[in-house]
Amino acid sequence: MNIAEKLDSIGKLAPLPEQAPTMRVFIRDLVLPCSIGIHQHERLAQQRIQINVEMTCLEHPNINDDVDNVVCYATAVMGIKAVVADGHTNLVETLADRIAEICLRDHRVLGVKVRIDKLEVFKEAYSVGVEIERRR
């Protein structure tokens, strides 16, 4: 392996077998109060946001009904709540990226999709927001 190939491989996961078993772990319609937005009135009062997360995870070869052998959605929810409670965020995109980072801390998570809806922006619309995807 030449130097360029070695440098290119730093930080990458080992290649997975083509048929590596995966599962999807999801959190749907988590509604939380959040200090978010670029406008002055959004800095003064929290608003409700709705968060949806879908993680594609490596499946343990032998789960054995043991929570340590799966990606725990309760742990993910606690991490999301901590990120949301961590103070004001200007952009929904920034919040989505921070949530994706929390999910990807678990080495078994190969990819994550995060959708954030702001529920109280326009009375004519149910929600506005963003959806991002991140992969290892």
Q: What is the CATH number of the domain that holds 102?
A: 3.30.1130.10
For the cut 90, the answer to whether the pLDDT of residue 20 exceeds it is no
For the cut 80, the answer to whether the pLDDT of residue 6 exceeds it is no
In a domain, 52, yes or no: yes
For the cut 80, the answer to whether the pLDDT of residue 4 exceeds it is no
In a domain, 3, yes or no: no
Tell me the pLDDT band of 2, cut-offs 50, 70 and 90. very low
Residue range 86-114, pLDDT digits in tens: 999 999 999 999 999 999 999 999 999 99
Tell me how far apart the alpha carbons of residues 106 and 89 are, in angstroms, rounded to a whole number. Answer: 24
In a domain, 113, yes or no: yes
Q: How many domains does the chain have?
A: 1
Complete DSSP assignment for 107-135: TTEEEEEEEEEESSS-TTSS-EEEEEEEE
Q: Global pTM?
A: 0.83
Are the beta carbons of 21 and 58 closer than 8 angstroms? yes
Domain of residue 118 covers: 19-135
